[in-house]
Amino acid sequence: MAGRFLAAAFLLVLAASSGAGEDRAGAKSKWAWSVDLDAYLSRNLNRPASRANQLRSFDVSSDRVRLNYGQLMLEHAASPLGFHVELGSGQAARLFEGKAGEDGLTANLMQAYASYRAPVGGGLTLDFGKFMTSLNAEVLRTRDNYNYSRSLLFSYAIPCYHFGLRASYPVSPRLTVGAQVVNGWNRVRGKDPGKTLVGTATWKAHGRVSLTHNVITGVERRQGQPSRRTVWDSVAVVTATSRLSLQFSHDFGMDRPGGIRRVSWTGVAGAVRYALSPRWAIAPRLEWFNDVNGFTTGLPQRLKEGTMTAEFKVRDGVLVRWEYRHDHSGRPFFDRGFDAAAVHHQNTLLLGLLFAYPWPR
């Protein structure tokens, strides 16, 4: 697996190096590429025998140094044809792919889609292939998020990726709408009856305020039984100043396993990033999540989460993040020592090291 990843990475770097830079006319190249590496060391103050951090998407290991994620990205902007490919490896890539359970069908291929920009109005963009979900403010690559760990909403309220066709169209300079027809949640193969539909709309209410609403609905299978699953997702991003930005997210989801009774989950999250200086930044996050029927976390419970992240920019392309996180459940859920589901809370400390090249200017 690692050998295939390294071979593919080498080929992508070679292609990017030959295509990037200035074109013959001196204009900016339509090629882009980047390399990311992300490692962490975490300490769970509950000291569980499993050495696992619960309710986490990727930073699941305690008391061990882990390569969280390595990524190589190559893209060519659609003009009118283009493509986007991301190869990934590490703990996050394995857990990300593990959500589908498709026996490594697209292992290490985190995104891969072809694009076509049709000459319609402001430009209709069509993508076909595997791509990240449009829901939520957080993404797979750590450096693009305010915090190191992902929120409960990212982990338990929404899908991670889709395979299918998506379209986006700028109705006006402020409003962009989109539609997607995909193979359900975290699936490349279309095993479920029918297709899943996604609708998106982004409104730039002001130069500093962006509002996005997504809805996804379709038939999924749980324990062999078909059920209709729907999630409404809303995100607000405010760039208050060059140093201060804010994110707010809300999700409400429901399912009807076996067509018998409806189950639901809902949550809200808010995060702030403030640059203390050109090198130092802090990012607190608060969150509330209610898994009413235990459908997503395995136990009916109300969860609260508070995170404080400090970031230091060593130089362009090198970041260090320190993080403290407190998770609290209304019921005994977290392991402590050799006792499973013994306490209501979990406290973790984390040191993360992030490398990226080239660094965005």
DSSP sequence for 264-321: EEEEEEEEEEEESSSSEEEEEEEEEEEETTSTTTSS-EEEEEEEEEEEEEEETTEEEE
Q: 259 — alpha (psi -120 to 50), left (phi > 0) or beta?
A: left
Radius of gyration of the chain (CA): 21
Domains annotated for the chain, with CATH where assigned, are 114-357 (2.40.160.10)
Q: 303 has which bridge partners?
A: 289, 329
- Comparing CA positions, the residue from 333, 361, 349 lying closest to residue 40 is 349
Tens digit of each residue's pLDDT (9 = 90 or more) over 67-125: 999 999 999 999 999 999 999 999 888 888 766 555 456 778 999 999 999 998 889 99
| Residue pLDDT, tens place only, 167-193 | 999 999 999 999 999 999 998 887 656
Is the model's pLDDT at 26 over the cut of 50? no
- Tell me what the mean pLDDT of segment 235-263 comes to: 92
Whether the CB-CB separation of 291 and 265 falls below 8 Å is answered with yes
pLDDT band at 24 (very low <50, low <70, confident <90, very high): very low
Q: How confident is the model at residue 25 (pLDDT cuts 50, 70, 90)?
A: very low
Give every CB contact of residue 255 below 8 A, 6+ residues apart in sequence.
220, 222, 227, 228, 229, 230, 262, 263, 264, 295
Q: What is the pLDDT of residue 101?
A: 52
Q: Which helix (H) or strand (E) holds 203?
A: strand 196-206
What Å distances lie between residue 212 and 34, 121, 136, 177, 209, CA to CA? 27, 22, 9, 10, 10
CA dihedral 188, 190, 192, 195 (to 10 degrees): 100
Q: Considering the entire predicted model, what is its pTM? A: 0.90
pLDDT in tens, 250-285: 999 999 887 678 999 999 999 999 999 999 999 999
What contacts 317, CB < 8 A, 6 or more positions away? Answer: 355, 356, 357, 358, 359
Question: What pLDDT score does 157 carry?
Answer: 96
For the chain, give the percent of residues with pLDDT over 70.
88
Q: How far is Cα 111 from Cα 83, in angstroms, rounded to an integer?
A: 10
Q: Residue 173: what pLDDT?
A: 92
DSSP assignment of 123-163: -EEEEEEEEE-S-SS--SSGGGSSSSSPPHHHHHTS-SEEE
According to the model, what pLDDT value does residue 67 have? 94
Which residues, in sequence order, are CB contacts of 165 under 8 Å at separation 6+?
126, 127, 128, 180, 181, 182
Q: How far is CA 189 from CA 86, 135, 162, 183, 219, in A?
A: 19, 21, 10, 7, 14
Report d(CA 84, CA 31) in Å as an integer. 10
The answer to whether 178 and 200 are in contact (CB under 8 A) is yes
Max Cα-Cα span within the chain: 67
Stretch among 13-17, 76-80, 162-166, 265-269 having the lowest mean pLDDT: 13-17
Using CA atoms, how far apart are residues 346 and 218, in angstroms rounded to an integer? 35
DSSP-derived secondary structure for 64-120: SEEEEEEEEEEEE--SSEEEEEEEEESHHHHHHHHTT-STTTTTTEEEEEEEEEE-S
- Model pLDDT, residue 227: 86
